[in-house]
A and B are shown apart, each in its own frame.
Chain A
Amino acid sequence: MRNPLTVLKRRLSEHREVRTDGGTTSAGSILDRDSVRSAPFWLPPFLLIGLFIYGAIAWNIVLSLTDFQGLGSPDYSALDFENYVVAFFGGTPSWSELTVSPIWNSAWNTVVLMVSFSVVCLALGLVLAILVDQEIRFENTFRTIYLLPMSLSFVVTAKFWLYMYNVETGLVNLFLGAVGVGPVEIVQNPDLKLAAVAFALIWQFSGYAMIVYLAGLRAIPTSHFEAARVDGASTLRMYWRVIIPQLRTATVSALVVLTVFSLKAFDFLFSMYGGYQPGPSADILATRMVREAYSNGNWAYGSAIAVILFIMALAIVTPYIYSQYKRGEL
């Protein structure tokens, strides 16, 4: 993509002196550059995100080095890494008299939720995409139905599933009762909490994985399917050996989006558990961060957790964006 672009640029700049209408142009001043001429369009949005996204991230990093706690305003004169030491090893920080527990529990829950949610989501999405791709009738209807949950917000999903998981009237327990398993407390059960959250999120987002995979499947030439058929491959073997390996880019892009969604699952937990207290078995980094900052007033410690969360998101997204850039698909 870049090569024809640079060639064209060079060609255009060579002919700059004499224009088509016979006139000439002066040598480009800085105001004539395309970047400057198009600046009225991209600069205001860029300044907005520069201030509210990147400025806020930088400020957050600085805040995480302070001892900001409780009411008042942060003191930027004494910066240290104490909050990170507390976050990783626990202990009693200088700004508090209480012992603060490390983040390992919520970090572990975050990773478990992230991995289980995205892997199951992808697998379900792939199966659905293959089924929908069988030249079925009413394909649009099925696709729309599968994608419908994604149009709901986290809050709505949480309330629906809170209702579904209800011990007495929930559909899940009615179903379990029909197959002979007694009513199970799900939402407040420490063993099932995280699974329940992951399941509801899978319900919401597997349609997205399906759409991404369906686009990937449609991009594979029909000849690949036909060649595998002619060679006598069974359907299972054809998909496993020929088709699924070609869905690598679709997998990666869906995986990145889903993983970052699960990092953002705070809204879901907040509405499902009605506040910052989902309990230790469903506590993820996002809920821990908001609880520390807004419930306990440990602003600086909350910022430190936020930085860790940000670095996790960055670690997932950077390789993806870089590979997209290298492939010229950005």
Chain B
Amino acid sequence: MSTETGRVGEWSLFGHSLRRVVLYGILAGMGVFYLIPIETGIMTSIINPASYTGSFPYLPPLEPLVPGTGTFSLEPWQGAIDGLGQGLVNSVILVVPATIFSGLLGSMAAFGLTTISWRGQIGIYILFVAGIFIPYQAVLVPLTQFWYNVVPLQAVFEPLAVLPFVQEYHWKLVALIITHTAYGLPICTLLFRAHYKKLSDEMVEAAQLDGASVATIYRRIILRCRSRCSRSCSSTSSPRSGTTCCSRSPSSSSAMQRSSPRIWSVSASPSRGRTSRCGWPPHCWLRCRRCWCTSSSAISSPRGSLHSMTTDSTGGTHPWQN
């Protein structure tokens, strides 16, 4: 926040203030600290084991040029792939469905607990959030009992093993997928809820006034808004003008005819300043192909935003008010 560059009377080095030089020195040093274990591991992994001396584990293999660094070889990688191939396949079988199910169910749960507002939802949501913090050891023995003694999943897979690509041991992977989905759900719900809170209410309200069902709102609005928002919440593209009128009248929309018309409450809080834009006025919600958030959060952590529970998104303008 405080730039001291070029302050009168400060020590300087090559035209930069000494303060800045020291600052960048520390930052770079910390960068080395965070990178060097990874770098060392990668460098060592491409050294021919026969020529490995261990004196310079952090240097790339430059044997003819620099003695003691070893010669280049992909032999360790070959060995790792041979040895871990089955594990890699199993990882993919486990990770892909578990991630998809966690994300899908988490998004659904967050929608049911955020966009639609009803009494007691916060209690349900607290149970979801608390699930993030449960140490796995606290549930291990019952889970072992459950999958080995209660659910006969192994017996189900014994006859299935004659099918191509199905092995008997896959029952363990299926059990892991289901369990892992359950344990990935809480954090997914938290992340999706943080995004849904940022979406504007106008579109949802307009859809509700048109009598759209809960499922229609999820499918036609939330899923489309999510695709952009979950990637990044800072938008540089400007939305189309707010005066644009949709050519189709909302009253002729299919959702209107399909679902029972009823107004229900939206969790609206004007103070939070949720601003998502679609490019269409809210009443044209059916025309919306994708929309994006305009509230720019300064930082998006790659692990998601646990801290978004403490840092409220600020500001943003309502596109339809000006």
Q: Hey, which bits of chain A sit against chain B, CB under 8 A?
A: 1, 4-5, 8-9, 12-13, 15-16, 19-21, 23, 25, 32-35, 37-46, 48-57, 59-60, 63, 73-74, 128, 131-136, 142, 145-152, 159-161, 163-164, 168-171, 174, 203, 207-208, 211-212, 214-219, 222, 225, 229, 235, 249-250, 252-254, 256-257, 260, 263-264, 266, 285-286, 289-290, 293-294, 299, 302-303, 305-307, 309-310, 313, 316-317, 321, 324-325, 329-330
- Could you give 23 example pairs across A and B, Cβ below 8 Å? A1-B271, A12-B264, A13-B265, A20-B263, A39-B112, A41-B109, A45-B106, A45-B109, A48-B185, A60-B141, A134-B23, A148-B34, A149-B38, A150-B302, A161-B37, A203-B37, A215-B298, A216-B307, A229-B2, A286-B135, A302-B140, A302-B141, A330-B309
- Kindly list chain B residues whose C-beta atoms are within 8 Å of the C-beta of A21: 261
Q: How far is the CA of A41 from the CA of B131 in the complex (A)?
A: 18
Quick one: which of B119-173 are within 8 Å of A by CB?
Answer: 119-122, 124-131, 133-143, 145-146, 149
B218 within 8 A of A: yes
B135–A4 CB distance below 8 A:
no
- Kindly list chain B residues whose C-beta atoms are within 8 Å of the C-beta of A219: 311, 314
- Kindly list chain B residues whose C-beta atoms are within 8 Å of the C-beta of A235: 2
B218–A41 CB distance below 8 A:
yes
A260–B27 CB distance below 8 A:
no
- Kindly list chain B residues whose C-beta atoms are within 8 Å of the C-beta of A252: 310
Closest to B267 in A: A5
Q: Which of A135, A147, A170, A211 contacts B307 (CB 8 A)?
A: A211
B322 within 8 A of A: no
Give min CB distance, B69 to chain A, whole Å: 12
- Kindly list chain B residues whose C-beta atoms are within 8 Å of the C-beta of A8: 265-266, 268
Q: How far is the CA of A52 from the CA of B136 in the complex (A)?
A: 11
- Kindly list chain A residues whose C-beta atoms are within 8 Å of the C-beta of B124: 42, 46
Q: Which of A4, A133, A147, A215 contacts B271 (CB 8 A)?
A: A4
B137–A208 CB distance below 8 A:
no
A310–B262 CB distance below 8 A:
no
Q: How far is the CA of A257 from the CA of B261 in the complex (A)?
A: 44
Q: Which of A15, A23, A163, A254 contacts B41 (CB 8 A)?
A: A163
A49–B182 CB distance below 8 A:
yes
Which of B126, B128, B134, B149 is the most central at the interface, judged by chain A CB atoms within 10 Å of its CB? Answer: B134
Give min CB distance, B289 to chain A, whole Å: 22
B57-72: CB near A (< 8 Å → 1, else 0) gives: 1100000000000000
Q: How far is the CA of A152 from the CA of B44 in the complex (A)?
A: 18
Give min CB distance, A142 to chain B, whole Å: 5
- Kindly list chain A residues whose C-beta atoms are within 8 Å of the C-beta of B189: 45
Q: How far is the CA of A211 from the CA of B185 in the complex (A)?
A: 23
Q: How far is the CA of A283 from the CA of B310 in the complex (A)?
A: 34
- Kindly list chain B residues whose C-beta atoms are within 8 Å of the C-beta of A254: 307
Tell whether A329 pairs with B262 under 8 Å between CB atoms, given A60-B139, A215-B298, A218-B298.
Answer: no
A34–B133 CB distance below 8 A:
no
Q: Which of B1, B34, B112 contacts A41 (CB 8 A)?
A: B112
Give min CB distance, A47 to chain B, whole Å: 10
A32–B37 CB distance below 8 A:
no
A164–B40 CB distance below 8 A:
yes
A60–B142 CB distance below 8 A:
yes
A148–B182 CB distance below 8 A:
no
B116 within 8 A of A: yes
Q: Hey, which bits of chain B sit against chain A, CB under 8 A?
A: 1-3, 23-24, 26-27, 30-31, 33-38, 40-41, 44, 54-55, 57-58, 105-106, 108-109, 111-113, 116-122, 124-131, 133-143, 145-146, 149, 178-179, 181-183, 185-186, 189, 209, 213-215, 218, 261-272, 298-299, 301-303, 306-307, 309-312, 314
B263–A12 CB distance below 8 A:
yes
Q: What 6 additional pairs, Cβ within 8 angstroms, besides A23-B261, A218-B298, A309-B135?
A: A41-B116, A48-B181, A63-B145, A211-B299, A293-B141, A305-B137
B140–A131 CB distance below 8 A:
no
Closest to A1 in B: B269
Give min CB distance, A131 to chain B, whole Å: 6
Closest 6 CB pairs of A and B: A169-B54, A42-B112, A41-B112, A52-B182, A310-B138, A56-B139
- Kindly list chain A residues whose C-beta atoms are within 8 Å of the C-beta of B179: 52
Q: How far is the CA of A51 from the CA of B31 in the complex (A)?
A: 44
Give min CB distance, B242 to chain A, whole Å: 22
Q: How far is the CA of A38 from the CA of B182 in the complex (A)?
A: 20
Q: Which of B41, B146, B181, B213 contacts A56 (CB 8 A)?
A: B146
Q: How far is the CA of A19 from the CA of B211 in the complex (A)?
A: 11
Give min CB distance, B76 to chain A, whole Å: 13
- Kindly list chain A residues whose C-beta atoms are within 8 Å of the C-beta of B262: 19, 25, 32
Q: Which of A48, A151, A214, A316 contacts B105 (CB 8 A)?
A: A48
- Kindly list chain A residues whose C-beta atoms are within 8 Å of the C-beta of B218: 41
- Kindly list chain B residues whose C-beta atoms are within 8 Å of the C-beta of A266: 136-137
A35–B2 CB distance below 8 A:
no
- Kindly list chain A residues whose C-beta atoms are within 8 Å of the C-beta of B185: 45, 48-49
Q: How far is the CA of A203 from the CA of B262 in the complex (A)?
A: 54
- Kindly list chain B residues whose C-beta atoms are within 8 Å of the C-beta of A20: 209, 263
Q: Which of B37, B111, B306 contacts A257 (CB 8 A)?
A: B306
Q: How far is the CA of A16 from the CA of B178 in the complex (A)?
A: 42
A57–B134 CB distance below 8 A:
yes
A329–B1 CB distance below 8 A:
no
Q: Which of A131, A163, A211, A302 contacts B44 (CB 8 A)?
A: A163
Tell whether A142 pairs with B120 under 8 Å between CB atoms, given A218-B299, A321-B126, A325-B126.
Answer: no
B31–A145 CB distance below 8 A:
yes
A12–B120 CB distance below 8 A:
no
- Kindly list chain A residues whose C-beta atoms are within 8 Å of the C-beta of B314: 219
Q: Which of A12, A37, A145, A169 contacts B214 (CB 8 A)?
A: A37
Tell whether A309 pairs with B24 under 8 Å between CB atoms, given A38-B214, A46-B128, A329-B310.
Answer: no
